[in-house]
């Protein structure tokens, strides 16, 4: 094991030992993350093996290993949606956030009637929206400013 005393004082080492943790990582915290290189936002609520199921050019659903439980989603082409439809409406700074429900609803409005031509596609968007709403998934302004 690496000697971590030069990173922590003796009190912090004792706290880590009492917590039963032998490393720096804490419990998994579900967070929406913007990836600039691939221009997408990803939200995964569990630290688990994931199966990605692409719905269309914007939405990918993320399931657990059983492919029965939806545990997240990926929204591609996020910067365009944000710059074109959301940024003019929200005057964001580093302390603000955008609810991902709003992003999904914006895309649904853009897709329009096409969304309802495929029952599978419509139910995928409904499932992603429900997960985003139930988990209050949001992307913080500091992450958006880097977009």
The answer to whether the pTM exceeds 0.75 is: no
Q: Which residues of the chain have pLDDT under 70?
A: 1-24, 88-97, 140-147
pLDDT of residue 116: 74
Residue 21 sits in which domain range?
Answer: 1-28
Is there a single domain that holds both residue 105 and residue 68?
A: yes
β-strand partners of 42 = 33, 74
Q: Is 83 left (phi over 0), alpha (psi -120 to 50) or beta?
A: alpha
Statement to judge: residues 76 and 119 lie in one domain: yes
Smallest CA-to-CA distance from 79 within 129, 122, 143, 31 is with 143
pLDDT at 89: 66
Q: Mean pLDDT of all residues in the chain?
A: 77
The pLDDT assigned to 138 comes to 86
Specify the pLDDT at position 10: 41
- Do 19 and 85 fall into the same domain? no
């Amino acid at each position: 094991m690496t000697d971590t005393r030069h990173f922590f004082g003796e009190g912090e080492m004792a706290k880590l030992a009492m917590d039963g943790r032998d490393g720096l990582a804490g419990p998994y915290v579900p967070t929406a993350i913007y990836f600039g290189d691939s221009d997408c936002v990803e939200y995964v609520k569990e630290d688990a093996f994931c199966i990605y199921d692409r719905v269309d050019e914007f939405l990918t659903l993320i399931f657990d290993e059983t492919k029965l439980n939806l545990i997240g989603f990926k929204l591609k082409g996020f910067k365009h949606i944000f710059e074109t439809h959301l940024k003019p409406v929200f005057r964001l700074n580093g302390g603000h956030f955008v609810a991902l429900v709003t992003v999904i609803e914006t895309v649904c409005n853009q897709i329009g009637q096409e969304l309802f031509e495929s029952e599978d596609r419509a139910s995928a968007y409904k499932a992603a929206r429900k997960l985003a709403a139930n988990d209050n998934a949001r992307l913080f302004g500091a992450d958006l400013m880097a977009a």
